[in-house]
Structure formats: structure tokens, C-alpha cells
Amino acid sequence: MNATILTSQMPTSRFNSTDLPIRAGVGLKAEHVDDILQSSADIGFFEIHAENYMGAGGMPHAQLTKIREKYPISLHGVGMSIGGSGDIDAEHLARFKTLIDIYNPSMVSEHLAWSTHHDIFYNDLLPLPYTDETLAKVVEHIDQVQSVIGRQILIENPSTYVTFKESHWSEVDFMAQIAKRSGCALLFDVNNVFVSATNHGYKPADYINAYPLHLVKEIHLAGHATDSDDHGEKLLIDAHDREVCEDVWALYKLTLSKTGPTPSLIEWDNEVPTWATLELEAKKADAILINSYPDSKSAYHSQKATA
């Protein structure tokens, strides 16, 4: 077997199991690691993209080990192709499991999307029709992943730019059925809701009010870019390249009013800013989380003290 590939022969975790604190986290970027460690950054948790750590050893794992010694992590997959029509790639899933075994993340998640066809990989998260056939395949794939890794995963709602005529489930009902039939939980991306609602002409608050938010265990927030389609109509792109906009912050508050305080992540994957700028975005989310506690701030401050 190729020695440069992370395999299940790697040692199991030396890290204790821990829940994600009810605080804001950020996506871990290599260029920020020194600043984070030197300042003992006051951040609830870090999210890593699994595919960035599927090589064995080297600087990525050295950095991640130092971060994991001090902070909880959430492991987020972007290449499992849960919504694909073919089989889950067994080698990819094995490497995914090995990361979980080594770093013992607090949460494990993937996207409701597809990115592979036969032996071709597309560097994007592509939408799928909401049909009975697709639902059965998605549930089969989630069952397979959960069985192999031995734990529950979270599935994230997508940002979409097209819809399918053959869809006969609403996205909200489709997500609820996925969770009901597979036993997975949900990751709720507020920016994705705003992007999709704007692109398809419905109210994001209506989507949030209808969503099975009682199944949500983590929330994502991000910035988006504004463009236009071939007809000159407004089109939002889930770019992850800027601050969270005020409309999304407002929808985040609405979401928390229904979920209660929930671990929340700032995603900023392109045009990555300085650590100070990213940390400031997390502090905005933290401030909203404090206010979402109904009676007092003591639980929040207790979690800060032990995070």
C-alpha cells in the first residue's frame, strides 16, 4: 500500500472524547496555526476538512496534532459523494475512518451532494433531484458510512443554483426523511439557506420555520458573493470568501431562537483573511450565542473556562 496515504493501520486516538462546546468555532487554516497557538486563541473549536489530512504524516498532521491537544475539532467531509448514484469509494471511506480514529473529533459531517461519477472526481458539491430513488441511495450511503466509522454523522443542507423538474420532495422534507430513515443528525448552514432562497425566489425564514431544527447539532455561517445569471437576475454564490452579511446574521438569530444555543462555525475558505479578522467573526457569533441563553450567561462562561 502507498505509504503516503493515511491508512487504518495508523494508531488509534490518544485524545479523549468531548462534545463540541456551545460556542463559535472557525475552519482551521495552516497559515493561522502559529497565531492560534502563540496567542492561546479563545475559540470554541476548529473544523477541518477531512480531505486535507488524508496524507500520512508531514506538516499538516503535526499542526493538527498541536491544535487537537488544545481544542475540540469537528471533522467535515467534502468528497464522500453521499448523493452520488454510484458506490461510496471504499478507500476514501477507510481514510476517513482513520482520521476519526486518530483525532476523535466531536462531530463528523458531510454534504448532501455528489462529486463523483465512476472514476471521475468533480471539485464541486453538485445538487441532486429530490426523488424516492435518490432518497433511498442517500440513506444507503449514510448507513454505510455510519456503519464503517461506528458513529452518527451530520448531513448539511446544500446551497443550490438549479432545481430539478423530477423532484417531488421539498428540500426540507427530504432532509427530514434522510434523518428519519438513516438515524443521522443534521448540520444547518444558514448561509446556504439564504443563497438558495434568493436564487430560487422563496423566503429563507419560511424554510427555517419548516426545517426539522430539533435534529440540528451544528450550525454553519459564511459569506457569499453576488452575481447575475444569463437573464440578468440576481444570483448568489456560496463563495466563503468574506464576512457574514447582516441578512445571514439575522437568520442565524432566528435559527437559534428555535434550536436553542448550538455550536456554530464560521467558514472562510477563499480569500482567507488574517487570523485577527477571522477571530472577530467568531466573536460576533459568540456574542449572539450568549444572548440566545434564555436566563443567564453562566453556562456560556463556564464552557469558555473549560474549552
Instruction: State which residues form the domain around 155.
Output: 24-118+132-306
Beta strands in the chain (DSSP E): 24-27, 45-49, 73-76, 107-111, 114-117, 120-126, 154-156, 185-189, 216-222, 225-228, 234-237, 264-267
Contact present, 175 and 155 (Cβ < 8 Å): yes
DSSP state string for 133-180 = HHHHHHHHHHHHHHHHHTS--EEEPPP-S---TT--S-HHHHHHHHHH
Residue 15 domain flag: no
Q: Is the pLDDT of residue 10 over 60?
A: no
Residue 45 domain flag: yes
What would the mean pLDDT of 28-37 be, rounded to a whole number? Answer: 97
Would you state the pLDDT for residue 295? 52
Residue 3 domain flag: no
Would you state the pLDDT for residue 48? 97
Helix 90-103 to helix 132-149 angle (10° resolution) is 50
Q: Give the span between the Cα atoms of 43 and 23, in whole angstroms.
A: 8
Residue 268 domain flag: yes
Q: Is the pLDDT of residue 13 over 60?
A: yes
Residue 12 domain flag: no
Q: Which of 117, 25, 95 is nearest to 67 (CA)?
A: 25
Give the HSE-up count for residue 120: Cα atoms under 13 Å, Cβ half-sphere: 4
Give the HSE-up count for residue 150: Cα atoms under 13 Å, Cβ half-sphere: 8
CA angle 89, 95, 99 (to 5 degrees): 140
Report residue 211's pLDDT band, with 50, 70 and 90 as the boundaries.
Answer: very high
Q: Which of 49, 74, 25 is nearest to 303 (CA)?
A: 25
Would you state the pLDDT for residue 122? 46
Q: Give the span between the Cα atoms of 161 and 127, in whole angstroms.
A: 8
Residue 126 domain flag: no
Count of the separate structural domains present in the chain: 1
Q: State the virtual CA torsion across 296, 298, 299, 301 in degrees, nearest 10.
A: 130
Q: Give the span between the Cα atoms of 181 and 138, in whole angstroms.
A: 10
Task: List, for residues 238-290, the tens digit of each pLDDT value.
Answer: 888 899 999 999 999 999 999 999 999 999 999 999 999 999 999 999 999 98
- Give the residues across from 218 on adjacent strands: 187
Q: Which of 263, 267, 256, 265 is nearest to 291 (CA)?
A: 256
Would you state the pLDDT for residue 240? 82
Based on C-alpha coordinates, what's the Rg of the chain?
Answer: 19
How many helices (H) and strands (E) the chain has is answered by 10, 12
More confident residue, 300 or 50: 50
Q: Give the span between the Cα atoms of 5 and 3, in whole angstroms.
A: 5
Q: Which residues are CB-contacts of 206 (< 8 A; sequence separation ≥ 6)?
A: none
- Tell whether pTM > 0.75: yes
Residue 7 domain flag: no
Would you state the pLDDT for residue 161? 66
Task: List, for residues 122-164, the tens digit of each pLDDT value.
Answer: 455 567 789 999 999 999 999 999 999 999 999 999 877 666 6
**Chain-wide mean pLDDT for the chain?**
88
Residue 51 domain flag: yes
C-alpha cell at 205: 425564514
Give percent of the chain with pLDDT exceeding 90: 67
Q: Is the pLDDT of residue 70 over 80?
A: yes
Task: List, for residues 81-122, the tens digit of each pLDDT value.
Answer: 888 878 899 999 999 999 999 999 999 999 998 465 555 544
Would you state the pLDDT for residue 85? 78
Q: Is the pLDDT of residue 299 over 60?
A: no
What's 49's domain CATH number?
3.20.20.150
